[in-house]
Chains A and B, each alone.
Chain A
Amino acid sequence: MIPLEFDYSAPATLQEALELLAEEEAKPLAGGCSLIPLLKLRLAAPGRLVDLSRIPELRSIAANSGSIHAGAMATHYDLESSSLLRAACPLLAETASHIGDVQVRNMGTLGGSVAHNDPAADYPAALFALEAQVRLRSKDSERMLPLSEFLVDALITAAEPGELVTEIIVPAEQPGTGASYQKMRNPASGFALVGVAARMRKTDGIISMARVGVTGLAAIGFRAVAVEQLLEGTAGSAADIKKAAAVIADGVEANSDIHASANYRKHVAAVYAARAITAALERSS
């Protein structure tokens, strides 16, 4: 469990980091929760690791005109414990609190997780429900992508060589919005066997906004638009929820492995969708 030899840099500024990442063999090191095991198994062998942990600006969590900008190097614990997030985007804080264990939450980062794009990571459920944007920077360019365009396939993203995820942008919730993240944990890894995030708002007793994000079910996370459409315009009764949740896996090519079959994952996705939607509705006003 020893990686191949690599060079190591720990720049103090983002610009310096981006210049180092412009090198062909360079790879950014965030919390290392996924990358270090891959290095130790020699499934990844970058020539240089650019450690981002000494760049304070990448760790900030700030509100800016109706949006929350969460730095890529904000740890899961930073998100979980951020009073700003807990007030303005509790779904992201709640999701962070479900990741791994205390040690993982102290090391792992939002940007690292999003950029790694593990099919079972927790964040995609919440970030799809939040219609998150991903900011990418390279030495001499900057762009924003919706999460749905950033995540391409399992472990593959739209980031070009030299591009770094610098922040994730989510909306500050409007008053009255309720949200919840519910997951079935993989007992070995703690990752999501299936996880569902829901954001709900009611107007005059009728669901006026429904957003449902899913992780663990397919190669990448996704927004369950069909579920949302079935919910919006209803009163959100138990029957409404059940009916909507039931379509969450329709047409999805579900993951299958030693931990759960595709069929079981699809079934559990519907169960957890109903639970997340129910909890979100309870928290909405």
Chain B
Amino acid sequence: MATTVTKPETLVGKAIRRKEDPRLITGTATYVDDIEMPGMHHACILRSPHAAARILALNTQPAIDRPGVVAVFTGDDTKGIGAVVCAGLLPGLRIPEHKVLATDRVYYVGHPVAVVVATDRYIARDAVDLIEVEYEPLPAVADPERALEPGAPAVHPQWPDNIAYTYHHDGGDVDQAFADAAVVVKERIISQRLIPTALECRGVVASWSQGDQTITIYTSTQVPHLVRSIVAGMLGLPEHKLRVVAPEVGGGFGSKLNVYPEEGLMAFVTRQIGKPVKWIESRRENYLATTHGRGHVDFFELAAAKDGTILGMKLKIIQDCGAYHQLLTPAIPTLSVLMAPGAYRFRNVRADIVGVFTNCVPTDAYRGAGRPEATHGIERMVDILAAALNLDPADIRFKNFVGKDEFPFQTGTGLSYDSGDYGAPLQKALDMIGYASLREEQRLARRQGRLMGIGISTYGEICAMGPSSALPSGGWESATVRIEPDGKVTIMSGVSPHGQGQETSFAQIAADELGVALDDVQVLHGDTSLVQYGIGTFGSRATAVGGTAVYYALQDLKAKAQKFGAMLLESDDVTLAGGVCTCNKTGKTVTVGQIAAAAYRALKLPPDTEPGLVATRYWEPSNFTFPFGAHIAITEIDPDTGAVEVKRYVAVDDCGKVINPLLVAGQVHGGIAQGLGQALYEQAVYDADGQLVTGELMDYAVPKAAMVPWIETDHTCTPSPVNPLGVKGIGEAGTIGCSPAVVNSVVDALSHLGVRHIDMPLTPEKIWNLVHKGGEA
């Protein structure tokens, strides 16, 4: 008899709409500010209007006297709270003590000085204005290069040179490489300070429970478990008495990969007043007091042979740390050093970093975190080298790529690139954009007086952070998978998705492994009392590390379910697939639901098997993963105004295996939008006195939808050998690949005018000045 075997539909690899979206687009998600609690009070923070000042006197009495105000706390009241933690510990790092509230001095505009707690949000805000502070303003320095000059104002008086740390790396034989070189190209390249601008600002609700002596903190964070560990340390609380919940989080981009003064402060306040307290950051505060990103002045030197073979690199990085170290501030530029060679084969790399204190809010991770700076640098330098040698920018890249048979590839910066085929996405992107005819089109455009540019960026990046040895907090990830008594599935992941879509992609993995429907899988995360310890979401790690933990937990669970299946089928030869367990001899089947019922009812158990169906795994990756890709931007410049228009944008990314192409496209699009923001529009501007000039969205130009071009995406697929899913990570690739593609394109458009490099953002005025000057030259 003929039988029709229907292959079960696999969900991994399918463009499935996000399970998260219905609640997000119908306004039924719960963000921190949606949380209401009986007796909840409201906090508002007084912040310094000065970039540097002594606090001579502080009178909180007028605020305390305001009806509705319950308490005011100052730096004196909160001295017992431990300092805000820097985990990016480098040898010789100078760490200024970072208290939750300023004590005798303020170090940046926005520095928290006091907190008012009141019965409602409005009273709290009004009372902040009643606090009387006598400041003695001091000279401030906001520019990192200026801060290094002799005689510059000292941000921290104990360190008059403003140097926070220095870091040195020497790989290969750099001196020999430069001695052998036929050509050396040098450039100063700025990766400007940016403001991450998550749609949801930060917010904290903290609630003390007198009954069981516990504190619950709801906070808009990417790393709830790290917040628990660190805030417990700051307050001297045992960790099992502290619960941290990341409810719906409206974007982070690295700015919420941190533990902030306000999180410790609200935990302190709720304990003091014995009531829940809510603090919601305003956009103004977000710009002043939430970490910024980038802030590099980099000096690149590239040595090459006459044929364009790159021999070595020298790199000096000046990092604008801001006034303090937040969680990872000094660690971010070390990632730039690690990825400085990009996708290229040369191993001779010398890098020096100097971290500099300025009277500005600290910088820390921002989408890409160190890699965009590295990629922007090497990709600009390769173009500059190509121009110096009169080589085609695509050819010089093909010539210098690590070959696809050279993996795993040991870099001159101490990494082992897992897998790659760097020429493949570039070739695909060149074909998509029709590169062969573009140069002719460009010549024609120039003859017509039009300024058209073609910009290539071929990035290699580091993801799936990472082996625990390389991360200050541990780099593993955890997962618990539970088949409930009715056969439905609950996953508890240690990662903390906030827009990335793992509630969908993890469900796809589980649905395939167990043969259940997508809607039969629920992914829980972000609550330390619900989920076993985990690390969180950052560094494009959630799927590659967290998803792998889910995958292994599923394998354990399948093995156990199979034992119950074998017992129920009274067979020792069974297969679990497609949601049923089949006896290979008789063809009899039991469903996963029947297995679950039996496992929990436990009237009979397989040998050496406990009741229930649950498995927990902690997975430690053996290496990072290294995605790569090629982005090409065609731009046209309005010669009359200098305005840049991106005419076409092609992105071919290789993030290994793709679990959900829709999620990947979303990450690529969003990443490119933010890369474009850096390339064309965004810059955090402090004036010489340390006042943030771009303190509002009216002055800080994030790209709006209408400012982002159509993005043509495609992929090549080189699976990662690091994890069984073969995935690499895609969260930051767009940002990393984008800015050099755009800047290379604009420089290309102006190259015939003698333009070699332009620092971001490429404002029309900047470009027009170059066109204008070039026209005169």
Q: Looking at chain A, what size class is its interface with the partner chain?
A: 20 to 34
Per a CB cutoff under 8 Å, which of A2, A4, A190 touches B121?
A2
B58 within 8 A of A: no
Closest A residue, CB atoms, query B764? A184
* Contact of B641 with A by CB under 8 A: yes
Inter-chain contacts of B702 with A (CB < 8 A): 188
B413 at interface (Cβ–Cβ under 8 A)? no
CB-CB under 8 A from A42, the residues of chain B are 129
**B698 beta carbon closer than 8 Å to chain A:** yes
User: B122 contacts the other chain (Cβ, under 8 Å)?
Assistant: yes
A239 at the interface (CB under 8 A from B): no
- Contact, CB under 8 Å: B122 / A261: no
List residues of chain B with CB within 8 A of the CB of A261. Answer: 765
Q: Is the CB of B284 within 8 A of A1?
A: yes
A187 & B768 in contact (Cβ 8 Å cutoff): no
| Structural contact, A41 and B701, CB atoms closer than 8 A | no
Q: How far is the CB of A275 from chain B (nearest CB, A)?
A: 9
The CA-CA distance from A74 to B142 in the complex, in Å, is: 45
B676-690 with Cβ < 8 A to chain A: 680-681, 685
Name the B residues within 8 Å of A40 (CB-CB). 282
Q: B640 contacts the other chain (Cβ, under 8 Å)?
A: yes
Whether B707 sits at the interface, judged by CB under 8 Å, is yes
| Interface hits, B734-777 → A, CB 8 Å | 764-765, 768-769
Stretch with Cβ within 8 A of B (4 or more), from A59-67, A200-208, A264-272: A264-272
Residue B693 CB within 8 A of the other chain: yes
Q: In the complex, which residue of chain B has the Cβ closest to the Cβ of A267?
A: B768
What B residues does A5 contact at CB under 8 A?
122, 126
List, in ascending order, chain B residues with CB within 8 A of A1's CB: 282-284
Q: Which single member of B129, B282, B694 contacts A258 (CB below 8 Å)?
A: B694
Taking a contact as CB atoms under 8 Å apart, the answer to whether B765 and A189 are in contact is no
In the complex where A188-B699, A189-B699 touch, is A2 in contact with B122 (Cβ < 8 A)? yes
Distance between B587 CB and nearest chain A CB, rounded to angstroms: 61
A258-B699 contact given A2-B121, A2-B122, A5-B122, CB 8 Å threshold: yes
Instruction: Check B125 for interface membership: any CB of A closer than 8 A.
Output: yes
Smallest CB separation, A44 vs chain B (Å)? 15
In the complex, the chain A residue whose C-beta lies closest to that of B643 is A184
CA distance A1 to B203 in the complex (A): 14
In the complex, chain A residues 186-232 whose Cβ is within 8 Å of any chain B Cβ: 186-190
0 or 1 for each of A28-43: is its CB under 8 Å from B? (1 = yes): 0000000001001110
CB proximity of B278 to chain A, nearest CB, Å: 13
Find B640's partner among A4, A186, A260, A271 (CB 8 Å cutoff): A271
Whether A187 and B125, one on each chain, are in contact in the complex, defined by CB atoms closer than 8 angstroms, is no
Closest partner residue, chain A, to B285 (CB atom): A1
Does A189 contact B698, Cβ atoms closer than 8 Å? yes
CA of A253 to CA of B122, assembled, Å: 42
Among residues 700 to 726 in chain B, which have CB atoms less than 8 Å away from a CB atom of chain A?
Answer: 700-704, 706-707
B95 within 8 A of partner (CB): no
The answer to whether A140 has its CB under 8 Å from any CB of chain B is no
Per-residue interface assignment for chain B, residues 610 to 643, with 1 indicating a CB less than 8 Å from any chain A CB and 0 otherwise: 0000000000000000000000000000001101
Interface residues of A in 18-72 (CB under 8 A from B): 37, 40-42
Measured CA separation A98–B245 after assembly (Å): 43
CA distance A264 to B767 in the complex (A): 11
**A101 CB-CB contact with B under 8 Å:** yes
- Determine if A187 and B681 form an interchain contact, defined as CB atoms under 8 angstroms apart: yes
Contacts of B697 in A (CB 8 A): 188-189
Q: Is the CB of B284 within 8 A of A41?
A: yes
Q: Which of A4, A184, A258 contacts B641 (CB 8 A)?
A: A184
**B281, closest chain A residue (CB):** A1
Q: A259 to nearest B CB, angstroms?
A: 8
Complex-state Cα separation, A186 to B681, whole angstroms: 10
Contact A188 B126 (CB under 8 A): no
Across the interface, name the chain B residue whose C-beta is closest to A4: B126
A187 with B707: in contact, given A2-B122, A260-B765, A267-B768 (CB under 8 Å)?
A: yes
> Do A258 and B693 contact each other (CB < 8 Å), given the known contacts A184-B764, A188-B699, A189-B699?
yes
* Min CB gap A56→B, angstroms: 31
Closest to B282 in A: A1
Minimum Cβ distance to chain B for residue A95 (Å): 18
Could you tell me the distance in whole angstroms from the C-beta of B686 to the nearest C-beta in chain A?
11
Contacts of A184 on B, CB cut-off 8 Å?
641, 643, 764
A19 to chain B, nearest CB (A): 28
Contacts of A101 in B (CB 8 A): 704, 706
A179 to chain B, nearest CB (A): 21
How far, in Å, is A137 (CB) from chain B's closest CB?
Answer: 31
Given A184-B643, A189-B699, decide whether A264 and B126 contact each other with a Cβ distance below 8 A.
no
Nearest neighbor of A186 in chain B, beta-carbon distance: B701
B762 nearest CB across to chain A (Å): 11
Chain B residue contacts of A41, Cβ below 8 A:
284
Tell me which residues across on chain A come within 8 A of B643, comparing CB atoms. Answer: 184
Q: How distant is the Cα of A190 from the Cα of B701 in the complex, in angstroms?
A: 9
Q: How far is B121's CA from A187's CA once the two chains are assembled, in angstroms?
A: 33
Q: Which residue of chain A has its CB nearest to the CB of B129?
A: A42
For the complex, what is the distance from the CA of A192 to the CA of B284, rounded to whole Å? Answer: 23
State the Cβ distance, A59 to closest chain B Cβ, in Å.
27
Is B641 within 8 A of A271, CB to CB? yes
* Nearest Cβ on chain A to B363's Cβ, whole angstroms: 20
Residues of A within 8 A of B125 (CB): 2
Q: What residues on B are CB-neighbors of A259 within 8 Å?
A: 699
Specify which chain B residues have a CB less than 8 angstroms from the CB of A37 in the assembled complex. Answer: 698
Query: What separation, in Å, do the CA atoms of A189 and B122 have in the docked complex?
Result: 28
Contacts of A267 in B (CB 8 A): 768
Residues of B within 8 A of A190 (CB): 704
Chain A positions within 8 Å of B700 at CB level: 188
Question: Whole-angstrom distance between the alpha carbons of A101 and B643 in the complex?
Answer: 20
A268 to B765, CA, bound (A): 9
Contact at B685–A188, with CB atoms within 8 Å? Answer: no
**Whole-angstrom CA separation of A41 from B590 in the bound complex:** 65
Given A41-B284, A271-B640, also A188-B768 (CB < 8 A): no
CB distance B765 to A258 under 8 Å?
no
**Closest chain B residue to A41 by CB distance?**
B284
A138 to B640, CA, bound (A): 47
Over the window 122-135 of chain B, the binary record of Cβ atoms lying under 8 Å from chain A Cβ atoms (1 yes, 0 no) is 10011001000000
A188 contacts B640, C-beta separation under 8 Å:
no
Name B's A-contacting residues (CB within 8 A).
121-122, 125-126, 129, 282-284, 640-641, 643, 680-681, 685, 693-694, 697-704, 706-707, 764-765, 768-769
Question: Can you list 22 contacts pairing A with B, beta carbon distance less than 8 Å?
Answer: A1-B283, A1-B284, A2-B121, A2-B125, A2-B282, A4-B126, A5-B122, A37-B698, A184-B764, A186-B701, A187-B701, A188-B694, A188-B698, A188-B700, A188-B701, A188-B702, A189-B697, A189-B698, A189-B699, A258-B699, A264-B768, A264-B769
Can you list the 5 inter-chain pairs with the closest CB atoms, starting with the nearest? A188-B701, A1-B282, A187-B701, A2-B125, A264-B765
Besides A184-B764, A187-B707, A188-B701, 11 other CB < 8 A contacts? A2-B121, A41-B284, A184-B641, A184-B643, A188-B702, A258-B685, A258-B694, A260-B765, A261-B765, A267-B768, A271-B640
